[in-house]
Amino acid sequence: MKKLFLSAILGGLTLTSCSSDDDVSPENPKLEVPETYTFERDANSSVSYSGQTTRLQMTSEILAKFTDFENGSETLLLDMFVNENAPFENASLNESSKSIKSKVAASKLYFSANTVESAEIKGDFDSYISEQFTAVKANKEVLADTGKAGQIAQGTKVRYVNEKGLEMNQAFAKGLIGGLLADQILNNYLSREVLDEGDNRANNDAGMLEEGKNYTTMEHKWDEAYGYLYGDPSIPQQDPNSVLNESDDALLFKYMGSVNDDSDFEGIAEETFEAFKTGRAAIVAGDYQARDAQVKIIRENISKIIAVKTVYYLQAGKEQMAEGQTGAAFHSLSEAYGFIYSLRFTHNPETGAPYISADNVENYLGQLMSGDGFWEVTPETLDTISEEVAAAFDFTVAEA
């Protein structure tokens, strides 16, 4: 907790965080930070992130079908991933021009000049779908065993794993937390390359709105970042933390809540929300130094959420294996696999690069999948990965 508030102090030297509509930063009298994420122009909201909400809704439908072998299929889920052939039950999603796949590994910072890796990452998500509905589905009535895909019990629940014990739906879902959400928030919409692109600063200073809209381009880019975290329809736009741990979100917002519940990281949800509000207010005031200070906080916090859950699930899997709870252990390790995958998309503000390099991510995943995968992974391997990840983010394995 001390680390979180220290970063808030360091990141917010240019402003004072405010708690009501009447509070104004003494450093910049134009900087008014509202109590909730409420920004208006001419008495109408200037906040819009409908595209992010659409992609989160698409993801929810995909995840619901991932283990539905009766109604789901490889073709259906691949169509849902790219939004082709009207695959969604929610008809409004079929009418949208948006898709999930187009925004995976698509940030301006990390992938605009790295299209080969971007294509490979998109291909990984395709492969999770394909393997689920080929190898795993073919063995859905068979008990999984070493080197054999099938079903495995976790208490009264039935999980479906590949021959190495990996649940493809968990790799897909947790991988999207990094590959879609974190990458778009940290490395795209909150980057100077996007916020300040072209004449965005001059237009923002002049109050020049996008045609037919009630926002400047810079305001909208910030809101789109906000939408990837808070855009699930079950989350109130203005006061998202009022439903922390109670929303229907299955991605980043959900896990921010669980990390916030850990006393070692208590306050991370409120600090992140304050940074989003303050940064948006700074854009309205034309205070770009204050805006960039909040970007730093958001990048640190969202990256840390991914790292904390990585270590948490690695350690949970280790303990469950020691207790002979194979199904529970494989489920935890599958979640860890997805979160490790997501580490590649974190953003260290001090270096401008991921906290964990792509090569190290591949190395960790390779260690988990070596030989017969989870069937033979050792506690020592899980501890080593945990310690290295925790050290990179300046927390301890025990804290996670």
With a cut of 80, say whether residue 398 has pLDDT above it: yes
Quick one: what percent of the chain has pLDDT higher than 70?
93
Which pLDDT value is given to residue 30?
A: 73
With a cut of 60, say whether residue 364 has pLDDT above it: yes
Which pLDDT value is given to residue 10?
A: 38
Strands (E), the chain: 40-41, 44-45, 150-154, 157-161
pLDDT in tens, 83-104: 999 999 999 999 999 999 999 9
Give me the chain's average pLDDT, please: 94
- What's the pTM? 0.93
With a cut of 80, say whether residue 17 has pLDDT above it: no
Q: How many CB atoms lie within 10 A of CB 352?
A: 12
Q: Averaged over 9-14, what is the pLDDT?
A: 38
**How far out from the chain centre does Cα 201 lie?**
28
Under a CB-based contact definition with an 8 Å cutoff, are residues 252 and 229 in contact?
A: yes
pLDDT in tens, 137-148: 999 999 999 999
Which pLDDT value is given to residue 29?
A: 65
Q: Residues 6 or more apart from 87 whose CB is under 8 A from it?
A: 76, 77, 79, 80, 94
Give the integer Cα–Cα distance in Å for 52 and 183: 13
Nearest to 330 by CA among 134, 72, 143: 143
pLDDT in tens, 197-230: 999 999 999 999 999 999 999 999 999 999 999 9
With a cut of 50, say whether residue 5 has pLDDT above it: no
CA angle at 23 for the pair 19 and 25, rounded to the nearest 5°: 110
Write the DSSP string, 159-218.
EEE-TTS--HHHHHHHHHIIIIIIHHIIIIITSHHHHTSTTHHHHHHTTPPPTTSSS-HH
Collapse the DSSP code of 44 into the 3-class scheme (helix H, G, I; strand E, B; otherwise coil) and give the result: strand
Under a CB-based contact definition with an 8 Å cutoff, are residues 62 and 100 in contact?
A: yes
pLDDT in tens, 216-225: 999 999 999 9
Q: How confident is the model at residue 233 (pLDDT cuts 50, 70, 90)?
A: very high
Q: How confident is the model at residue 54 (pLDDT cuts 50, 70, 90)?
A: very high
**Adjacent-strand bridge partners of 148:** 145
Which pLDDT value is given to residue 377?
A: 98
Q: How confident is the model at residue 256 (pLDDT cuts 50, 70, 90)?
A: very high
Nearest to 277 by CA among 7, 35, 41, 30: 35
With a cut of 90, say whether residue 128 has pLDDT above it: yes
With a cut of 50, say whether residue 72 has pLDDT above it: yes
